[in-house]
Structure 1
């Protein structure tokens, strides 16, 4: 028995996959610890309504950011030669700049109209910063894919600490300097993201060198990977509409303060998700992008099992403790956030399981299946939240259970795609074969 355990420990030590996961996990843990330590302080300096307004701003930013590079940022992982990937990264940055400038003009000039439509006129002055937020997040994403391609997980981990920790520290400093309200949250976030981006550009400086070594043009590479905007772009946009649409519905149909409660619950529940899945998803995508047929199904099945085992205890504790812990740790005015956190547990536990394996559809070029899932996954929560009446916690409980069921179906579909890929079959032809 002991020799068997010893062999397994030795195997784990030799595993490159586990070393990469642990490298990313170290950075993620450090980032989340900083957030957890500072959140009880920030929750007493910024009100639920402040966080609600910030959530609306962040929703606008996130919706555009996911398509700012037309999903060509994910394609940085795919070229056989680094020189081609560098040219692709240059094209991605140009796309991000163009979209960011356009967003600045649209959201800035239209800020009074947008703010009135959201029912939050005090948000209008801050909408001029939407384009800057989109640029920093889009460029961070593109550089992260390059570092992932190069297996530089240490730099990715450091970036997470700087982005999360830097944001929280900047928001704290601004609040202590009497710059509170939604402005303090937005400006603090930009400081954290800007610091992370500058550091990331230094760590990935080789991506700007040796561009002449490639025989491909930006236009040629965009043509080669045109499936990214055509197939994966709609998936990303639908996901953004779902996530940010939920925020918008809660903010408009319920109230800004309740949106702040929801934002805080979601933010803190993302801690175990980030700790476990943030590392797994990055390494999983890198492994899948170079995986040969015959091993994908087993690898995906192991990922599902690993995520479920790692997540069951943290989420069980969240379910039982959050209604008590939130008002104690964050302050009495955050009691609703604790009850919302409990309601969200089934949904986020299944998200933990499905997040890494979702990249199967990108690698096997079956994004149309993921898009079909995404449409259902988006329509269900938005419809339920809009049409259900009464208490928001009860409504979110119904939404959470429905989403968990949909994610179970998604897991089965991902494993099915991996199985057909291993057999050399095209999942796109499965319906015709049936």
Structure 2
């Protein structure tokens, strides 16, 4: 980090900040700061809208929204067969543009296919997964998928360009417009359509801004678009559809599995307490962990697979700083979780605080692992990442299976879950570092 960016701080503090944020990871943390600012403002807007929305919509409406959001989160990443994740990797913009167009073509074909299936067999297909309440809104599912996948493509192009500001701006735009749409349609008594349309806006808001921002680059690179180059790009990055698609599916399952297992093992109140604990812990991970992951991926992809020593040096710097900054909040949560939750949410949520204090054990390891997992993208390790995600699912089955067989208390179950996931994230981080070539 340059001295100019720290000149507003006193001398001693400036030296400390230069030590913490400087060196090989300085660009990563600059990018993270920009992304985190946008994400933070977006989340504040979203949180501020909740009290209004809960007075306009009923629990049943939010139930439909939860199912709708879950479906989008599972299906949308699969539309491009994950070729979209390779956009930051090519050295030449022309090849990256061919990957972008390949992803766009796959997205349109997959969305059209899903739309036809939902139009003809929507009720039957959704009923298989107990989602029949979404049948009247099948067309919104298609729009949501198209919006979400399009936004992902454009933000990954922005990541390639290391244009973090435009991503941050669109995050704020998504949250603001989504909240306005949900509130406005709620006042018109359009339920649950208002929530669903607002979620589509949240998935794709900012697409127009991204297109305007990068439209000139797309026009300049259009001359490089060739079917032969698209096939070459598809073959070069074939590991993404072969291994990243099933890996994404396993990741979606593992993210939803803990709550589903708790619902199967314990009563609704315990499940709700656990759900709030997961949501509270997920906020800092989404705000900082995932924004840092985007910044790390952009900087590491810019270095490329031909400069592994620099990628390794940057990864080590990021890991040390993440561990340092996440350790104190984890310790505070470990010892004061119930009290903090009681103050923030009310006395009825003390158990959620107790659960969160246990989950804090693996918070540091998950926080550190999130950005370095992108190392596998850079060095063609999609198969290795698939194995790690499969391992995580099997560990989850082991944790909750052991709880069922031994009739453990919720606290004991969560302790097993937290310790097992801590070991998984730690070993995954070590393995990612060892996967970087030696030269």
Q: Where on the TM-score scale, by shorter chain, does this alignment land: which range?
A: 0.7 to 0.9
**Aligned Cα RMSD in Å?**
3.5
Matched, 1:188 2:193: no
Matched, 1:101 2:116: no
After superposition, where does 1:20-419 map in structure 2 within 5 Å?
Answer: 20-39=31-50, 41-42=52-53, 51-119=62-130, 121-180=132-191, 183-214=193-224, 216-217=226-227, 218-246=230-258, 264-291=276-303, 292-319=307-334, 323=338, 329=344, 338=353, 340-382=355-397, 384-385=399-400, 388-389=403-404, 395-418=413-436
How many residues in Structure 1 have an aligned counterpart in Structure 2?
419
- What SS is found at the alignment partner of 2:206? helix
Note the alpha carbon deviations across 1:261-296, whole angstroms, 9 max, x for none: 655543442221133223321121122123313233
Q: Distance in 1 between matches of 2:104 and 2:37?
A: 29
Contact 2:162 2:299 in 1 (8 A): no
Match of 1:431 in 2: none
Stretch moving more, 109-118 or 403-412: 109-118
Contact 2:27 2:299 in 1 (8 A): no
Note the alpha carbon deviations across 1:323-344, whole angstroms, 9 max, x for none: 4555765578767655554453
Note the alpha carbon deviations across 1:224-255, whole angstroms, 9 max, x for none: 22222123333222212322445555667768
Q: Distance in 2 between matches of 1:279 and 1:4?
A: 28
- CA 1:392–1:205 in structure 2 vs 1: closer, same or farther (change >3 Å)? farther
Match of 1:429 in 2: none
Q: Distance in 2 between matches of 1:56 and 1:177?
A: 23
Q: Distance in 1 between matches of 2:137 and 2:266?
A: 22
- CA 1:260–1:177 in structure 2 vs 1: closer, same or farther (change >3 Å)? farther
- What SS is found at the alignment partner of 2:83? coil
Unaligned runs of 5+ in 2: 1-9
Q: Distance in 1 between matches of 2:120 and 2:261?
A: 24
Q: Distance in 2 between matches of 1:114 and 1:336?
A: 38
Superposition deviation, residue 366 in structure 1: 2.0
- CA 1:348–1:200 in structure 2 vs 1: closer, same or farther (change >3 Å)? farther
Contact 2:250 2:393 in 1 (8 A): yes
- What SS is found at the alignment partner of 2:426? helix
Contact 1:104 1:129 in 2 (8 A): no
Superposition deviation, residue 73 in structure 1: 0.7
Q: Distance in 2 between matches of 1:57 and 1:162?
A: 21
TM-score, normalised to structure 1, is 0.82
Match of 1:428 in 2: none
Stretch moving more, 250-259 or 208-217: 250-259
Q: Distance in 1 between matches of 2:60 and 2:362?
A: 25
Unaligned runs of 5+ in 1: 425-434
Q: Distance in 2 between matches of 1:281 and 1:345?
A: 20
Q: Distance in 1 between matches of 2:257 and 2:119?
A: 21
TM-score, normalised to structure 2, is 0.81
Q: Distance in 1 between matches of 2:139 and 2:272?
A: 22
- What SS is found at the alignment partner of 2:308? coil
Note the alpha carbon deviations across 1:47-103, whole angstroms, 9 max, x for none: 666555433332222222222111111111122221222222122111112222222
Q: Distance in 2 between matches of 1:215 and 1:127?
A: 34
Superposition deviation, residue 3 in structure 1: 7.5
Contact 1:304 1:353 in 2 (8 A): yes
Superposition deviation, residue 159 in structure 1: 1.5
Q: Distance in 2 between matches of 1:242 and 1:250?
A: 13
Superposition deviation, residue 303 in structure 1: 1.4
Contact 1:51 1:263 in 2 (8 A): no
Superposition deviation, residue 9 in structure 1: 5.1
